Amino acid sequence: MADGALTSLANSAPLPLVDPYGRSIRYLRVSVTDRCDFRCVYCMAEDMTFLPKAQVLTLEELERLCGAFIQTGVRKLRLTGGEPLVRRGIMDLIRRLGRHLDTGALDELTLTTNGSQLTKYAAELHAAGVRRVNVSLDTLDPDRFQAITRRGELASVLDGIAAAKAAGLQVKINCVALRGVNDGEVHDLVAWCGRDGHDLTFIEVMPLGDMDEGGQGGSVRADQYWPLSMLRAELAKRWTLTDLPISTGGPARYARVGETGGRVGFITPMTHNFCESCNRVRLTCTGMLYMCLGQDDAADLRAVLRGAPDDDAALLAAIKEAIARKPKGHDFIIDRRRKAPAVARHMSVTGG
């Protein structure tokens, strides 16, 4: 995006983003690509068909949209994918978005990654203003890692995490709890994160998209689903967990691990609807704005961008109208009888 457009957005009158339930929208998650170098079993099908280039927002369009959201009060940007670091030219976008940190318009620029590209990009990310990253890592066993991701090597991810730490980036580990898959590793993960200084967040598997060739995504998720109440009970057999009064507006609830001093978080979209304090929205790489991860309603911001490329007022108005439709919450259900996902789109489409 041209500097003039940035200036136009920066100088226009602020439009506070407040949804119908009085929640101020301060956090935007932006998927920069639907592509990934992994095929995680809970995220996408093994034989994925990725979007044609013409449907994906250009880096300039992504920058313009991010700038518009910053103008309307968003203070935190998280870049996601697919895998964001496989997008060609992604560091150019990150450096330009980092300018908003310098002006004070943005509090934080971060990303969620599978870690495969961190060895290459960790130092550049820190130089661009990124100070922490979330790394998706569900196992410390190389064979199990390959089975979950369907490709990729654990060693490269662990090297990437080490490179991020060396570059000065704080690393948080995200682990999807999968019954019968990694449920025997939870103690090892807590110990490893505590030893290496990483916060750890466990996430319940969510019913998004068909994952297997037979279209039985719902049944796969039903078999994998492990309530985090059960996971926490398992952790309590070895670790002393003390709840922390941390409120970030996000879905995680945190506890301190007495034996390591580290933090462990629990994200429970299935067993606890965490929507009452939701302050975020999600933008896909095609410009679709989802006001809720668990709902299908979306606003097509790409049509506004390309239909009126110089009309900042139209873009800001479209964003404000979309936020006015943000629902109170979601109701994820894994239906073992219907054997279908609650939401048809894959997690990689919305952004991890």
Binding site annotation covers 278?
yes
Check the annotation: does 42 bind a ligand: yes
Is 258 annotated in a binding site? The answer is no
The answer to the question of residue 289 being in a domain is yes
Question: Is residue 195 marked as binding?
Answer: no
pLDDT of the residue at 352: 55
- Model confidence at 277, pLDDT cuts 50, 70, 90, reads confident
* Number of domains observed in the structure of the chain: 1
Please indicate if the annotation marks 165 as binding a ligand: no
| SS3 label, residue 300 | strand
DSSP assignment of 189-252, as one string?
Answer: HHHHHHHHT-EEEEEE---BS--STTS-HHHHHHHHB--HHHHHHHHTTTS-EEE-----SSS-
Give a yes or no: residue 196 inside a domain.
yes
Q: Is position 175 annotated in a ligand binding site?
A: no
Q: Is 345 annotated as a binding residue?
A: no
User: How confident is the model at residue 221, as a pLDDT?
Assistant: 55
Distance of CA 130 to the CA centre of its chain: 15
Q: Supply the pLDDT for residue 311.
A: 92
Which residue's structure tokens are 């369907």?
Answer: 150
Q: How much is the pLDDT for 128? A: 98
Q: Is 285 annotated as a binding residue?
A: no
The answer on whether 292 is annotated among ligand-binding residues is yes
280 is in an annotated binding site: yes
The reply, when asked if residue 270 is annotated as ligand binding, is no
pLDDT band at 153 (very low <50, low <70, confident <90, very high): very high
Helix (H) or strand (E) holding 256: strand 253-257
Domain annotation covers residue 71 = yes
Mean pLDDT of the chain: 86
> Is 29 assigned a ligand-binding role in the annotation?
yes
If we measure between CA atoms, which residue out of 299, 148, 137, 256 comes closest to residue 202?
A: 137
Per-residue pLDDT band at 251 (split at 50, 70, 90): confident
- Residue 179, pLDDT above cutoff 60: yes
pTM: 0.86
DSSP E strand stretches across 44-184: 76-80, 108-113, 132-136, 170-177
Tell me whether residue 14 is in a domain: no
Is there a binding annotation on residue 225? no
pLDDT at residue 142, rounded to an integer: 97
pLDDT at 27 over 50: yes
- pLDDT band at residue 185, thresholds of 50, 70 and 90? very high
Residue 176 located in a structural domain: yes
pLDDT, mean of residues 39-54: 87
326 annotated ligand-binding residue: no
Q: Is residue 13 part of a domain?
A: no
Residue 163 within any structural domain of the chain: yes
Asked if residue 84 lies in contact with residue 113, where contact means CB atoms within 8 angstroms, the answer is: yes
Q: Tell me whether residue 78 is annotated as binding.
A: yes
Is 43 labeled as ligand-binding? yes
pLDDT at position 172 over 90: yes
CATH number at residue 278: 3.20.20.70
- Per the annotation, does 36 bind a ligand? yes
Range of 333's domain? 27-350
